[in-house]
Structure 1
Amino acid sequence: MSTTITYKVNQPIDAQQLTNVFASSGINRPVQDFTRIQKMLNHGNLLVTAWDDEKLIGVARCLTDFSYCCYVSDLAVCKEYQQKGIGKALLAQVKKAATNQAAIILLSAPNAVEYYPHIGFEHVDVAFRIPRSN
């Protein structure tokens, strides 16, 4: 593990790299469906990545208008790099890229609900969803 983690905005990655991070991080994503993962990459418009030398170790994949809201669809850090501030740094880069005009919004995985208030997120009880069919 390198002592210096670098962060990049909109650095192209492929479905295999994203799948590797998802699988390592423990996040629940369709890692067996590369076509779907590639669509996820193709249609997000803000991608912040964390790198240990040439190894992708973290991602924040977002959809944003850069003026009102920024939805963080995926925040994942490889298990061996967790609890080192990388997720927080990814979100700081998201906030910088999305501008101060955009609210940062995300849906938390149940096991991460306690994490987000510690890094500046406000808990809100006004979200709604229509679940995926598959």
Structure 2
Amino acid sequence: MKSKGEAGEHLCTNPSYGYTKDSDNKKRWIADGEAAGVVKRIFALCLDGYGPSQIARILKEDKVITPTIHFQQIGRTTRNAPPDNPYNWTGDTIADILERPEYQGHTVNFKTYKQSYKSKKTCYNPEGKWLVFENTHEAIIDADT
């Protein structure tokens, strides 16, 4: 696992919202048309001065489906239970999307670690310990954004 991460390969099994695995090369991520458009819109709204809660409200009013519902529709497994309202975006979800450097086309490994194989608790590494590999997949958001 460590050598794979240090080589710049993705360590997660499922790509982030906005991406899907390439059918020819499972290690490569490609932009998922509809979801990538939602991610671009979230960043555009943020640049217009809206906060995560306001963006969530706008997406809810415009009846944009949540990532969990989107994953179910394309046949991808999720660990979250589907919400009662398929348009129920939350500020936390928006904030998570805005904080991810993966949308710039970078692979980021070793964000988290476990203290022991016996422990189920996930600990977060400081950003200095992350390994960032730039331009490993198609970028949805440019670096200026």
The two structures have a TM-score, normalised by structure 1, of 0.25
* Bigger-Rg structure (1/2): 2
Q: Which has the higher strand share?
A: 1
Superposition TM-score, scaled by structure 2 size: 0.24
Q: Greater RCO between the two (CA within 8 Å, min separation 6)?
A: 2
